Amino acid sequence: MFVSDCLQINEKGHLTVGGCDTVELAETFGTPAYVMDETTIRENCRAYKRSFEQYYGGNGLALFASKALNCLEICRIVKEEGLGLDVVSGGELYTALKAGFPAEKIHFHGNNKTRDEIKMALESKVGRIVLDNLYELTAVDELAASMGIKASVSMRIKPGIDAHTHSFIRTGQIDSKFGFALETGEAMEAVKQVIACRNIELEELHCHIGSQIFDMDPFVHAAEVMMDFIGDIRKQTGVTVECLNLGGGFGIQYTQDDNPQSYDRYMEKVSKAVKAKAEQLELPVPFIYLEPGRSVVGEAGITLYTVGGIKEIPNVRTYVSIDGGMTDNPRYALYKSGYTCVVANKAGLPAAKEVTVAGKCCESGDLIQENTKIQSPEIGDILAVLSTGAYNYSMASNYNRIPKPPIVLVKEGKAREIVRRQTYEDLIRNDI
Ligand code: LLP
pLDDT tens per residue, range 194-218: 999 999 999 999 999 999 999 899 9
Residue 2 confidence (pLDDT) above 80? no
**Confidence check: pLDDT of 164 > 80:** no
The predicted model gives 22-49 an average pLDDT of: 98
Query: How many whole angstroms from 250 Cα to the centroid of ligand 1?
Result: 9
CA-nearest residue for atom 23, ligand 1, is 391
- What is the position in ligand 1's atom list of the atom closest to the CA of 211? 15
Average pLDDT value for residue range 49-56: 96
| pLDDT at residue 187 is higher than 70 | yes
Residues contacting ligand 1 via CB (< 6 Å): 65, 67-68, 86, 109, 169, 208, 211-212, 247-250, 291-295, 331, 391, 395
pLDDT at 166: 58
The pLDDT-based confidence of 50 (bands split at 50, 70, 90) is very high
Q: Is the dihedral of CA 275, 127, 296, 383 positive or negative?
A: negative
Cα distances (Å, whole numbers) of residue 365 to 48, 246, 373, 411: 37, 35, 19, 35
Distance of CA 290 to the CA centre of its chain: 12
Mean pLDDT within 35-47: 98
Atom of ligand 1 nearest to the CA of 391: 24
Short-list 326, 354, 408, CA closest to 20: 408
374-390 pLDDT, tens digit per residue, is: 999 999 999 999 999 99
Atom in ligand 1 nearest the alpha carbon of residue 395: 16
Question: What's the gap in Å between 101 CA and the centre of ligand 1?
Answer: 21
Ligand 1 centroid – CA 210 distance (Å): 7
Query: DSSP E strands: which ranges in 111-233?
Result: 128-131, 151-158, 180-181, 200-206
Which pLDDT does position 171 carry in this prediction? 61
**pLDDT at 285 exceeding the cut of 90:** yes
What are the catalytic residues? 362
CB 51 within 8 A of CB 383: no
CA of 291 to the centre of ligand 1 (A): 9
Dihedral sign from CA coordinates of 365, 367, 368, 370: negative
pLDDT category of residue 151 using cuts at 50, 70 and 90: very high
